[in-house]
Amino acid sequence: MFEAIELGQSLSKKEFKQAELQFRAELLQLQQQLVEKSIPVLILVAGVEGAGKGDVVDNLNKWFDSRGMMTHAFWDETDEQKERPEYWRYWMSLPSRGSISIMFGGWYWDPIYQHSMDRLDDAGLDEAAQRIKDLEDTLNQDGVLIIKLWFHLAKKTFRSRLKKDSEAAKHIKTDADDHHGGLEYAPFLAAAERMIRRTDTSAATWHLIESEDRWFRDMSVVEVIRHSFKQRLEEHRVADRRVADTNLMPETSPATVLDTLDMSLALTKSDYKEQLQHYQAKLSQLVWQAYDAKHSTVIVFEGWDAAGKGGAIRRLTDTIDARLYRSISVAAPTDEELAHHYLWRFWRQVPRAGYMTLYDRSWYGRVLVERVEDFAQPHEWMRAYQEINDFEEQLVDSGIVLLKFWLHISPEEQLRRFEERQQIPWKQHKLTDDDWRNRDKWDGYAQAVNEMVLRTSTGKAPWSLIPANDKLHARVEVLKTVCQRLEEVLKDN
Amino acid sequence: MFEAIELGQSLSKKEFKQAELQFRAELLQLQQQLVEKSIPVLILVAGVEGAGKGDVVDNLNKWFDSRGMMTHAFWDETDEQKERPEYWRYWMSLPSRGSISIMFGGWYWDPIYQHSMDRLDDAGLDEAAQRIKDLEDTLNQDGVLIIKLWFHLAKKTFRSRLKKDSEAAKHIKTDADDHHGGLEYAPFLAAAERMIRRTDTSAATWHLIESEDRWFRDMSVVEVIRHSFKQRLEEHRVADRRVADTNLMPETSPATVLDTLDMSLALTKSDYKEQLQHYQAKLSQLVWQAYDAKHSTVIVFEGWDAAGKGGAIRRLTDTIDARLYRSISVAAPTDEELAHHYLWRFWRQVPRAGYMTLYDRSWYGRVLVERVEDFAQPHEWMRAYQEINDFEEQLVDSGIVLLKFWLHISPEEQLRRFEERQQIPWKQHKLTDDDWRNRDKWDGYAQAVNEMVLRTSTGKAPWSLIPANDKLHARVEVLKTVCQRLEEVLKDN
């Protein structure tokens, strides 16, 4: 692959400077148009050491208006990063709409490096490539323009440059040896080739750039970027609105998974007290053990209005040391959040290792309220299933214990609770016109819930459907489920 | 002090539950009104171990609508926190307008704890108290309602509770021994008393709460909070708009510190090349040394439009490894930023230890453009001098190297450059109508700059005024100044 760009191409400084007079104004104009169209741009800068990636980034910072432009390197990990899923740092560095992020290496560096050091085999690299493709697809569909640049040097040049690159190399070896030390040319390129072949997609094309000559290299960068910007601005970009028309279940089927629940389950008050105490005592221990074992826990609560989410959450947090948990009621997104992929705000909240986060409503809003109320279009919520599964898989793979509860009540029980809320002064604020409106769309919601469970109840992140007509039963059931899961996970340690 | 609340006061559970029926609805209503008025609320929960601070926080989470409410504990520091000024973590946890932050201990815990362990003397505690008062004043003036609760236990009760509090204590000892271990009652209370006396101000009053009996304790909390909320909602709160009318210089004086600069300073092209190379080579080494020594550098660039800030910044970053710096062009704040004190966005960007941040415009906007254009009122920008000095002092005290450059050009030179910009295609975007308007207000800006230098050029954070009619001279002067400062700091290591 790479031999095709070992051509010894070059450009004179004079030619480059001449061209620069033209292209600088053009690049700025294009940037301005991208800002106006709120298009986020991600430029990934990768390649062999010594090819001048740093110089290229400096140039980009010079040519473009630096407002709304940010450069990210991922070499000197903090424990805030180490204690979260691998991709957390990348999500936190994504461009918002109308801005440009430049990433050194980005999600490519680590798998390529590990493979070239024989710490990752071919299958591992391919798996990493698949995950990258999924992410790039997601970003592309969300409107991000992804430009991937690979800077290449022939072996001879690489050798001679490496010697010169003394100062940085010295520090990098001392400070991040595990990440950059002992790189050999041939295995590195072999890993890179395999990775590039697997991730060169129409959603995010690779551009290989010969970097022997700096003027030729810089001119190539300009051309790639100019072309990519123009293409994106000129195309009448229509998001992929295709919707799989093969439902997992016939739409006409009136029954949903919710109909299978035994809604008669209930507890007497004395049974409740006893079991509540039992599981709460257990939980308060388990949470400290999870902290010690550095296992985070993420618990999602979804359910009908008035299904008792808040009460169930409180029966958990009552007993947990307040230093160890964070409880999040999902409200309207801020403008920083709106300027990113809808999952960004949830990535932002991923807990550090050892902590617990409880969600009163969650990222499932996309396939529930946003679907039923038409806030999201079908192609948007349809692809959300896949995106959510990917997100949750990464949480679980990083050691996070993920639990998802759907609290289910009957329409009759909901009505009873609404009417009760109207009577109790400190509950009146909980009942809004929206609640009554949502109630009218019960069937639509039921179908959405059914499909959500079908598509996102995975082996790694199953849904727990809790019959909640009896609050006491529901609360104990939730507590018990959390305790059981934590015990299982901690036993394996 | 504390003996005054060792009264053995108590309340029956029944009385409390009876009262709860009333106050819950009222608390929710008050919260709703605070949201409507965009008032941020900070509740500081402090006191002796075993007094039930965690239970109180759980109750607050139960009584209030948890949307827009966040609890923060500061016990398990990450290196992201350790590598920044002490107050960074508190700034990051402040409530935004209309929301409630609950802090465990907050800025009080550390100085009280250190003093009670004999690691901080009286003078040190008093200094910490002074800094706390400054911060609370700042927040109060910015509209934050601060409620400080101290939960007290008599010695006997403290002893008996400490034994029970086994699980948490065990973990806290292992995990954060330095922060919580070996606490003795008497020295702890002595430190607390000294701290409370010094920080019990009208901006942020302390409330001492007897905590022997849980129902009495909880009722006291409710009363304090209800009273504070009501008081704040009922008062026709007028910010302190007094403006010191004693200018440091007579306003009529037409001369400013800028007039003292030698604007004839210039470099020949060959001298420039030589010196640029010299200092750039030096800088690229120094930045790595600063990284190794964990010294961050923050460099602020202010100056007239077209004074050459961008060019000067680029002569610095050209030579610095792109992994080590971040360059920030200050643009319009996001809504998350607008919902906090104006310095919050800059706190947010404080670099980790060892890194460099360069600002193209900065927090000085408050006393420059916002003052001259009347975006901020006099009492707002007047108090900003003090706030900025406090902020910068904390940066410097935490080991950050802070440099502030004012690039100065004459009105004639500015006009020449504006006209030049109109000619060069890639510079046209830099020239806006605003630039021409600002030019008309030259004298107003000159006066604002003069006062800014007078009030914020401190021993710890002096301004460097750079004559910049000659770009070459200015760039070298900036480089030289940065090198010299870094050399001084690194020599001391």
Tens-place pLDDT, residues B226-260: 999 999 998 766 555 555 544 555 555 667 788 88
- pLDDT given for residue A31 in this prediction: 93
- Asked whether residue A346 carries a pLDDT value surpassing 90, the answer given is yes
| Per-residue model confidence as pLDDT tens digits over B13-23 | 999 999 998 89
Whether residue A336 and residue B331 make contact (CB cut-off 8 A), yes or no, is no
Residues of A in contact with B66 (CB under 8 A): 310, 327, 329, 360
Q: Is the pLDDT score of A67 beyond 60?
A: yes
The C-alpha atoms of residue B346 and residue B391 are separated, in whole angstroms, by: 10
Percent of chain A with pLDDT over 70: 91
Average pLDDT score over residue span B275-281? 95
* pLDDT mean over B362-380: 90
State whether residue A249 is helix, strand or coil. Answer: coil
Q: What pLDDT was estimated at residue A493?
A: 66
| Chain length of chain A | 493
Enter the tokens of residue B155.
């010695």
User: Inter-chain contact B168–A322, Cβ cutoff 8 Å?
Assistant: no
Average pLDDT over residues B168-197: 68
Q: Is the pLDDT of residue B173 over 50?
A: no
Interface predicted TM-score (ipTM): 0.73
Distances (CA, A) of B358 to B21, B218, B428, B461: 55, 49, 24, 15
Q: Pull the structure tokens for residue B209.
A: 């709460």
Q: Would you state the pLDDT for residue A163?
A: 65
Does B178 score more than 50 pLDDT?
Answer: no
| pLDDT in the model for residue A155 | 83
Q: Which of A69, A426, A434 to mutate to test the interface with B (most CBs of B within 10 A)?
A: A426
pLDDT in tens, A274-315: 999 999 999 999 999 999 998 999 999 999 999 999 999 989
Instruction: Give pLDDT, residue B181.
Output: 56
403-462 in chain A: CB under 8 A from chain B: 425-426, 428-429
Please answer yes or no on whether B322 and A171 come within 8 Å at the CB atom.
Answer: no
Residues in Cβ contact with B224 at an 8 Å cutoff, skipping those fewer than 6 apart: B147, B149, B207, B209
pLDDT over threshold 60, residue B52: yes
Interface test with A, best of B30, B76, B426 (most A CBs within 10 A): B426
| pLDDT of A332 | 80
Average pLDDT over residues A429-452: 86
Digit-coded pLDDT (tens) for B427-478: 777 778 888 888 889 989 998 999 899 889 988 899 999 999 999 999 999 9
Share of residues in chain B with pLDDT > 90 (%): 52
Asked if the model's pLDDT at residue A162 lies above 90, the reply is no
CA separation for the pair A300, A479 (Å, rounded)? 13
Domains along the sequence of chain B with CATH:
2-234 (3.40.50.300), 257-491 (3.40.50.300)
Residue B175 has pLDDT above 70, yes or no: no
Task: Tell me which chain A residues have a C-beta less than 8 angstroms from the C-beta of B32.
Answer: 429
pLDDT of residue B240: 56
Asked whether the beta carbons of residue B171 and residue A291 sit closer than 8 angstroms, the reply is yes
**Is residue B361 scored above 90 in pLDDT?**
yes
Nearest to A288 among B171, B322, B331 (CB): B171
- Which member of B62, B69, B80 has the closest CB to residue A78? B80
Residue B426 is predicted with a pLDDT of: 75
B294 touches chain A (CB under 8 A): no
- One-letter identity of residue B176: A
More confident call, B297 vs A351? B297
pLDDT single digits (tens) B382-407: 889 989 999 999 999 988 999 999 99
Structure confidence by residue, pLDDT tens digits, A315-345: 998 888 888 888 888 878 888 888 899 999 9
Compute the distance between CA of residue B50 and CA of residue B53 in angstroms, rounded to an integer: 8
> Band of the pLDDT at B47, cuts 50, 70, 90?
very high
Q: Does A314 touch chain B (CB under 8 A)?
A: yes
Tens-place pLDDT, residues A356-399: 999 999 999 999 999 999 888 888 888 899 899 999 999 999 88
Average pLDDT, chain B: 87
Instruction: From chain B, pick out residues whose CB is under 8 angstroms from the CB of A68.
Output: 329, 331
Residue A320: which of A351, A361, A300, A291 has the closest Cα? A291
> Do the beta carbons of residue B63 and residue B24 sit within 8 Å?
yes
Q: Is the pLDDT of residue A3 over 80?
A: no
Please tell me which of the candidates B69, B73, B322 has its beta carbon nearest to residue A71.
B322
pLDDT band at A178 (very low <50, low <70, confident <90, very high): very low
B272 band by pLDDT with thresholds 50, 70 and 90:
very high
Q: Which residues of A touch B326 (CB under 8 A)?
A: 70-71
Q: Which of residues 158-197 of A touch B (CB under 8 A)?
A: 167-168, 171, 175
pLDDT of the residue at A169? 54
Q: How does pLDDT run across A106-137, given as a tens digit for each residue?
A: 999 999 999 999 999 999 999 999 999 999 99
Which strands, in side-by-side order, build the sheet including A463-467?
Answer: A325-329, A356-360, A297-303, A401-408, A463-467
What SS3 class is residue B193? helix
Q: Is the dihedral of CA B98, B104, B108, B110 positive or negative?
A: negative
Contact by Cβ (8 Å): B150, B192? yes
